[in-house]
A = this chain, B = another copy of it.
Amino acid sequence: MVDNTQSLSARPATPILTSAHKIAVAGLGLIGGSLARRLVERGRYVVAWDIDESLYEAAHSVGIHTVDTIENLALGKPDVLVLATPLKAMSHVLSRLGAVLPETTTLIDVGSVKEPLRKSVVDAGLARQYIGGHPMTGNELSGFECSDASLFRDALWALCVDDHTDLSRFLTVADVVTQGLGNRFICIDDETHDRSVALISHVPHVVATALAALLSASSDRQIAGALAAGSWRDMTRVSLTDPARTQAMVEENAQHVSQLLNDISLVLSQQAQLLLAADQSEVHVHEACQRLTAFFASAQPYRNYRAAQAHLELPADNASLGLLDVSDGNWQAELLESAGKGQQIVRFLTTHQAQFLEVSGW
């Protein structure tokens, strides 16, 4: 248990007012559409713009307001503007927003790569208003017609900040994520984000595509495709994603993805060699088998982690949540350290104190 008596007295404890009533969403695709639907369901005022106005009627029917240009979205003075266009369009949209976005509006995005995007934000003169956002949800589908508020149920966000990020703007975005969407978040820096998602999202997309391409090119594809069961379907699901979207994502994160692809390529070719050695009655067969065993054992920490996660129960009440105090001068590093311990922020109670859920297991 965490004793919060001392922390409450030691820090400034300004209560937080819900500060993001009006939320603008630029781009009503799978993610923007799902996010807008959920915010409306949970009582926020949502106004959106999309390059394709033919979907506006469907948007209106679920309570999403719309405007006809990205400029009008900005001129409506939303508390928060969520940039949810395709990655490739973001720098163009940002350049248009640069001239018109009110000072009072905080800007966030939902893109899957953060370092290049912050450069575009800086170029657009919007750095002071910006928090990077990445909701860890989605599927292989695209478009508003596939969007679904439940995609954001229990989602975890990465919120990305740098040393210049303004705490009060961060609290506004935290309000949208935790109270507006009912989600949790971790707060990290851009590079940690891009390195981490290269590992758990971008590289898996490339690997799944490589598997699907292998089957596509195989003369056994008719029979092998028929024999493909659950493991294959699960492994290759993300290869069904719009390939242009996947390519844009990995190209934006090229350095990290490239490094990890080389790592995994090397591991796989090593196992290929070991399997041949183990299959031949050579003097080295025993060593090869041992090294194969070591390879399979090297994933054991992950098996243990998943087993621990499976038994993790979300607390029914707030009593078992931890309390984290953050300071004015060092809150970014304090939140990053908290994320590194497996803590996920559930809400801010005051401007300088957050509740977290501990979901470690490594």
Q: Give the B-binding residues of A (Cβ under 8 A).
A: 134, 136-139, 156, 158, 186, 188, 192-193, 195-197, 199-201, 203-218, 220-232, 234-240, 243-244, 246-247, 250-251, 254-255, 257-269, 271-273, 275-276, 278-279, 289, 292-293, 295-303, 305-306, 339-342, 344, 359-362
Closest to A306 in B: B240
Asked if A298 and B216 make an inter-chain contact with CB atoms under 8 angstroms apart, the answer reads yes
Most buried by B among A213, A218, A243: A213
Copies in the complex: 2
Known: A136-B229, A227-B200, A243-B296. A222 touches B272 (CB 8 A): no
Q: A223 to B158: give the CA distance in the assembly, Å.
A: 9
How many Å lie between the Cα of A267 and that of B217 in the bound state? Answer: 13
B279 touches A272 (CB 8 A): no
B216, B264, B306: the one within 8 Å of A214 (CB):
B264
Q: How far is the CA of A279 from the CA of B156 in the complex (A)?
A: 29
Is the pair A207, B201 in contact by a Cβ cutoff of 8 Å? no
Show 24 residue pairs from A and B whose CB-CB distance is below 8 angstroms, ordered by the A residue: A134-B227, A136-B227, A139-B230, A186-B223, A199-B214, A199-B218, A199-B224, A204-B232, A207-B207, A207-B264, A207-B268, A213-B302, A221-B305, A222-B360, A225-B362, A243-B299, A243-B300, A250-B275, A251-B279, A251-B292, A258-B271, A258-B276, A265-B272, A266-B269
